[in-house]
Amino acid sequence: MAYELYYWPSIQGRGEFVRLALEDAGAAYVDVARLSEADGGGVPALMRLMQDPALEHPPYAPPFLKDGTLVISQTANILQYLGPKIGLAPAAEAGRLWAHQLQLLVTDFIKEAHDTHHPLGSSLYYEEQKPESLRYAQNFLELRLPKYLGYFERVLERNAAGAEFMVGSAATYVDTSMFQIVAGMRYAFPKAMSRTEAAVPKLIALHDRVARRPRLATYLASGRRIAFNEKGIFRRYPELDG
Amino acid sequence: MAYELYYWPSIQGRGEFVRLALEDAGAAYVDVARLSEADGGGVPALMRLMQDPALEHPPYAPPFLKDGTLVISQTANILQYLGPKIGLAPAAEAGRLWAHQLQLLVTDFIKEAHDTHHPLGSSLYYEEQKPESLRYAQNFLELRLPKYLGYFERVLERNAAGAEFMVGSAATYVDTSMFQIVAGMRYAFPKAMSRTEAAVPKLIALHDRVARRPRLATYLASGRRIAFNEKGIFRRYPELDG
């Protein structure tokens, strides 16, 4: 049976990390909230499951994945669950823990990337926190971005199997996640990324290789890939890209 | 062989979630950075391992756990690894995914709790971001805190095995983590918590039960439990407790 992914239908957001893994693996899945309401989809379908009072393990927030009767949330947890089933995780426990550890750092990174436009809270509009966003973004782009990307570069450098993949000698969901953070940062902060990329050549090369993986290239060129926009995590506000 | 925990020696911080699980389980562990430097401990020991260029899987930041040759970081990942070994995780996969999912929400919560005093970035002092902290904290205490705690309360209400534990019918690391967020919020925001607690009676009762667990009670009364202070995640800045 196809996996059912539940995520907001108009943004890449956190759900995109799951979509990328499913697409790269060629796994059968339904992106439920992107179906029409007439077909049982849309945001109402997402809300209905999330708020179902009979659900013993309710998600706190999207994305969540339904696999039979199992409903799992938290992006990194979903990927940890899916990875071995769709051929995008290492076989041994140590490798799986390592892949998950890296994905949890991706979680940390995208929270900070998100907070460049919402440093005071998600319930306030960006327009209500513009000066604070500017200060946050400056700090993020100067100190945090090079630290995170430099760490991911170091992971590639230290991989005993070579710098082709983040973990071991085969693709995992960590590779598709690396693609996404480079792509997202290039969209949101093209100037800062052009300054930062020279220091992380292996990571950029990984991004390029992932983009050329056949199933992923097909996905990225398709209508299933939602365009970056100013409702998601990575937003292009030129005033923040100092 | 005893587990080796590496974390900053003068704060509870994220490492405390690991300490609580180890202490509750009565597991043998060494809190390495709390040993004297003469005994091979202290912050230098922590930095030495974290920055060891021979480490293929370097931690990004403390806490990290060393178990034989395995070095694991990210608090929730450490707990996921330790849980089954120390008797604080469910036996079945679905239960383990659920426990981990809840712990990842704890991760999200403590990041937001931390940001009440550092909304613009960790590299700036609190004193450099006091007005922003006030706006962040107001939003956090009014909207986010009740939403998070209300969710955890709902998890207890929906537990088919009853509201004694967060997951199933036995203690897990999620219970010790619930204890810690209630204790931390009571320390940092006593006024806001006194307003919020009435709505989450099962969660407060869980906090109280966890605190009475014999090994945990012994730990909490011992010198091993570092006192809350204004260097950690939960800081008492009365001006933020509106």
Structure confidence at residue A220 (pLDDT): 98
Closest to B76 (Cα-Cα) out of A70, A77, A144, A56: A77
Give CA–CA dist A225/A87, Å, rounded. 21
Sheet containing strand A3-6, edge to edge, reads A29-31, A3-6, A64-67, A70-73
| Residue limits of CATH 1.20.1050.10 in chain B | 93-213
Task: Report the percentage of chain A scoring pLDDT > 70.
Answer: 100
Are the beta carbons of A5 and A22 closer than 8 angstroms?
yes
Identify the pLDDT of residue A4. 98
Closest by Cα among B66, B63, B65 to B232? B63
**Cβ atoms within 10 A of the Cβ of A9, count?**
17
Residue A172's contacts (CB-CB under 8 Å, 6 or more residues apart) are A83, A88, A89, A90, A99, A165, A166
DSSP-derived secondary structure letter, B127 = G
pLDDT 10s digits, B62-113? 999 999 999 999 999 999 999 999 999 999 999 999 999 999 999 999 999 9
DSSP codes, A89-150: S-SSHHHHHHHHHHHHHHHHHHHHHHHTT-TT-TTS-GGGSHHHHHHHHHHIIIIIHHHHHH
pLDDT at A153: 98
Interchain proximity B136–A120, CB inside 8 Å? yes
Q: What is the mean pLDDT of residues A97-122?
A: 97
pLDDT band at B188 (very low <50, low <70, confident <90, very high): very high
If you average pLDDT over residues B172-181, what whole number do you get?
Answer: 99
Minimal-distance CA residue of chain A relative to B160? A56
Single pTM value for the model:
0.98
Spell out which residues of chain A touch residue B80, defining contact as CB-CB under 8 Å: 100
- What is the CATH superfamily name and number for domain B3-85? Glutaredoxin (3.40.30.10)
Q: Is A50 on the interface with B (CB under 8 A)?
A: no
What is the C-alpha separation between A179 and A210, in angstroms, rounded?
6
Q: What is the pLDDT of residue B242?
A: 84
**B62 contacts in chain A (CB < 8 Å):** none
Q: How confident is the model over A135-153, as pLDDT tens digits? A: 999 999 999 999 999 999 9
- Give, for A5, the enclosing helix (H) or strand (E): strand A3-6
Interchain pair B121, A100: CB under 8 A:
no
Find the residue in A nearest to B55 (Cα): A158
Contact B58 A154 (CB under 8 A): yes
Chain B positions in Cβ-Cβ contact with residue A115 (cut-off 8 Å): 115
Which segments of chain B belong to CATH 3.40.30.10?
3-85
What ipTM goes with this model? Answer: 0.97
Decide if B68 touches A, using CB distance below 8 A: no
SS3 of residue B152 by DSSP: helix
Q: Cβ of B130 under 8 Å from any chain A Cβ?
A: no
Three-state SS at A67: strand
Please check whether residue B121 touches A, CB under 8 A. Answer: yes
Instruction: Please indicate whether, in this complex, the C-beta atoms of A124 and B139 are within 8 angstroms of each other.
Output: yes
Nearest CB partner across the interface for B139, out of A108, A121, A155? A121
Mean pLDDT, chain A, as a whole number?
A: 97
What values do phi and psi take at A71, rounded to 5? -120, 120
At A93 the pLDDT is: 94
Residue A185 has pLDDT above 90, yes or no: yes
Report the distance separating Cα B174 and Cα B206, nearest Å: 11
Binned at pLDDT 50, 70 and 90, residue B171 comes out as very high
pLDDT at A242: 84
Residues 151-190 of B with CB under 8 A from A: 151, 154-155, 158-160
Mutate to test the interface with B, among A72, A74, A133 (most CBs of B within 10 A): A74
Q: Contact A166/A152 with Cβ under 8 angstroms?
A: yes
Residue A113 with chain B: CB contacts under 8 Å? none
Contact B123 A139 (CB under 8 A): yes
Inter-chain contact B143–A123, Cβ cutoff 8 Å? yes
Separation between Cα atoms, residue A75 and residue A62, nearest integer Å: 9
Is residue A182 helix, strand or coil? Answer: helix
The nearest CA of chain A is from the CA of B191 a distance in Å of 21
Is the CB of residue B123 less than 8 Å away from at least one CB of chain A? yes
pLDDT in tens, A48-99: 999 999 999 999 999 999 999 999 999 999 999 999 999 999 999 999 999 9
- Whether the CB of A136 is below 8 Å from some CB of chain B: the reply is yes
Candidates B101, B155, B172: best to mutate against A (most CBs of A within 10 A) is B101
Helix (H) or strand (E) holding A70: strand A70-73
Tell me if B121 and A140 make a contact (CB, 8 A cut-off).
yes
Half-sphere exposure (CA, 13 Å, Cβ side) for B14? 24
Interface A-B: count of C-beta contacts within 8 A: 101
What pLDDT was estimated at residue A1? Answer: 81
Inform me whether the pLDDT recorded for A102 exceeds 90: yes
Alpha-carbon distances, residue B87 vs B73, B92, B103 (angstroms): 20, 13, 16
Residue B1 is predicted with a pLDDT of 81
For residue B189, the SS3 value is coil
CATH class, A93-213 region: mainly alpha
Q: How many helices and strands, by DSSP H and E, does chain B display?
A: 10, 4
What is the helix, strand, coil percentage profile of chain A, to 5?
60, 5, 35
